[in-house]
Amino acid sequence: MATRTAIKVSARERLLEAADELFYQQGVQTVGIDRVIEHAGVAKASLYNTFGSKEGLVCAYLEQRFERARSRIIRTLTRFRTPREQILGVFDALGEAFTDPGYNGCAFVRASAETAEDSAIRRTAEHYRSWVRELFTELATTCGYAEPEELARQLLLLYDGAGQAARMDRDPSAATTARGAAAALLDAAPIVG
């Protein structure tokens, strides 16, 4: 092996892990650089050499979250065959995430809420958001619904709302509630032809 990565974890990886824990639990504004490097056991210079700035670290943290969320959802989708089951499966994946005792809401929504209008952080959050929307749109199109975009928008409302409720009410069953509502919307939506 080239650089014994199995034994010694790189500063980059330790920083990302610490950022994930601290930023997600306590918020990207509340947590300072010093807390992150202390938790990671890494020198401050390493952080600035690797990520350039705090904003760079926050974006890397969000991108890592995005990759994980995406692979979790895609993995769930493979368990179902029909697009209708797959749409509802997205809410199952959400429910899985909610059962994590450390669940603290959608990382992208929260980071965006803490950040100014035109930042790179906002753009990263929007990237995730449009991915979910397009996923719903594709699945709804495959189902043969007459207005897949509008249906996808409705499903996204449930998706967002479930994350909100799970956090603010500390109630993981919000995913089940959202799943039930989604099923009702799918039943009610007009099919093409």
Partner DNA sequence: CGCGAATCAGACAGACCTGTCTAGTATGGA
Partner DNA sequence: TCCATACTAGACAGGTCTGTCTGATTCGCG
Q: Which listed residue (15, 40, 73, 162) binds a copy of itself by CB under 8 A?
A: 162
Name residue 145's beta-bridge partners: 191
Position 185 contacts a copy of itself (CB under 8 A): yes
Which residue among 36, 61, 92, 112 contacts a copy of itself (CB under 8 A)? 112
35 binds, among a copy of itself, DNA, none (CB under 5 to 8 A by kind): DNA
- Enter the DSSP assignment of 33: H
Burial zone of 153 (CB within 10 Å; 0-12 exposed, 13-18 middle, 19+ buried): middle
Selected binder of DNA within 25, 26, 45, 150 (CB under 7 A): 45
Residue 26 interacting with DNA (CB under 7 A) = no
- Does 12 bind DNA (CB under 7 A)? Our answer is yes
Choose, by CB under 7 A, the member of 22, 42, 143, 186 that binds DNA. Answer: 42
Of 70, 72, 60, nearest in space to 13 by CA: 60
Distance CA 119, CA 38 (A): 26
Q: Which stretch binds DNA (CB under 7 A): 31-39, 102-110, 161-169, 170-178?
A: 31-39
CA–CA distance, 93 with 47 (Å, rounded to integer): 33
Q: Binding DNA by CB under 7 A: which of 17, 27, 39, 54? A: 54
| Nearest of 98, 108, 99 to residue 65 by alpha carbon | 108
Question: Is position 27 an interface residue for a copy of itself (rule: CB under 8 A)?
Answer: yes
CA distance 156 to 134: 10
State the residues that interact with DNA by CB under 7 A: 2-4, 10-12, 31-35, 41-46, 48-50, 53-55
